[in-house]
Amino acid sequence: MSSVGVLGAVFNLNHPAHTVDWEFIHLSVANVIVIAVMLIVFALAIVLPFPGAASRRAARGRGGSS
Amino acid sequence: MSSVAPDPPATQAPEKSWTVKVREAGVEALPPEKLLPDGQPTYVASWIYMFGVASIASLIVIITSGSILALKGPAWWHYTGVGHFFNSVHLWSVELFFFAMVVHLWGKYWMAAWRGGRSRVWVTGAITFLVAVPAALTGYVSQQNFDAQWISTQAKDGLNSVGVGAFFNVTNFGQMYSYHVLLLPIAVVGLVSAHVLLVRKHGVVPPFKLERRKAALATAASAGHDGSPAGTDGGAQS
């Protein structure tokens, strides 16, 4: 089975897009999912510490060069 | 008896050529230690900047895959497997570019990245986003398939509704393809380059807490105090 066939088996794309409708807002479900993922990633980018940031601050506090 | 012409006054400096003037202005604006610094402040260790770098990485993939597509011509991506592959790489790198750029833009908005004389840094970043939108749109309408036909007719109605339809014909493949492979990529790459150079020139905006603490220390020092940050919100990140 081709890769297209495998993907076709997972996602049935043979239909019009599902949409979210609220007043004048008209979005495809795919776009809503992408927007939601972006908001989640943004929140995580703010909340999660960057790897190595704490040790870098500590080294800077001790007068290190990093 | 021959006469000798007087020497010109020795105090007059020679006129600088335009190359010297440009070089001196460039080095003054961006000395080498600013252009390629040894390190960055500790508050740059943040995921928000990782998304800015991810935008640039995506843009490099976009330009590379787009150059290959341009070399092979505007039909290759339809009838060959390799063409399909590079078409997909081009599409998904664009998706990643917008994803990373918007997260970076949101972060910089809430950090008020225009503080401290950095307005041009913020403006070049925001305009890059605005210019990237038509760069992507002209790509979608250059696909030469039903998807492109649908998007171009919808875009035509949208552009007509805001009164700019006389300037852009989004159903004209030749015009849109030219915009997509030349004019708009030049604009995006130029803006991103300017943005990065301005970041190097002005430095990354410090966190609010650090900026307030520095201001408090400066005020205390000018008033003759000992400079203690008591009463201010400590916890600056550097």
**DSSP structure class, residue A61:** H
Inform me whether the C-beta atom of residue A52 falls under 8 Å from chain B C-beta atoms. Answer: yes
- Give me the CATH number covering residue B168: 1.20.810.10
**DSSP structure class, residue B133:** H
Inform me whether the C-beta atom of residue B42 falls under 8 Å from chain A C-beta atoms. Answer: yes
What pLDDT, on a 0 to 100 scale, did the predictor assign at position B166?
87
Tally helices (H) and strands (E) across chain A: 3, 2
Number of domains in chain B: 1
Inform me whether the C-beta atom of residue A35 falls under 8 Å from chain B C-beta atoms. Answer: no
Q: Is residue B21 part of a domain?
A: no
Q: What is the pTM of this model?
A: 0.81
Inter-chain residue contact B45 with A56, CB threshold 8 Å: yes
**Is B47 within 8 Å of A45 (Cβ atoms)?**
yes
What pLDDT, on a 0 to 100 scale, did the predictor assign at position A24?
92
State how far the Cα of B190 lies from the Cα of B128, in Å rounded to an integer.
9
Alpha helices in B30-80 (DSSP H): 32-35, 47-72, 76-79
Residue A64: its chain B contacts at CB < 8 A? none
What pLDDT, on a 0 to 100 scale, did the predictor assign at position B13?
74
State how far the Cα of B69 lies from the Cα of B83, in Å rounded to an integer.
7
Rounded average pLDDT per 10-residue block, chain B, 238 residues: 59 84 93 89 91 97 97 91 95 96 96 93 97 96 93 94 89 94 97 96 88 81 59 38
Inter-chain residue contact B47 with A44, CB threshold 8 Å: yes
Query: Directed axis angle between helix A29-47 and helix B47-72, to 10°?
Result: 140
Q: How confident is the model at residue A10 (pLDDT cuts 50, 70, 90)?
A: confident
More confident residue, A64 or B129: B129
Residue of chain A with shortest Cα separation from B101: A38
Q: How many other CB atoms sit within 10 Å of the CB of residue B227?
A: 12
The parent domain of residue B188 ranges over: 45-205
Inter-chain residue contact A44 with B237, CB threshold 8 Å: no
Tens digits of per-residue pLDDT, A26-49? 999 989 999 999 999 999 999 999
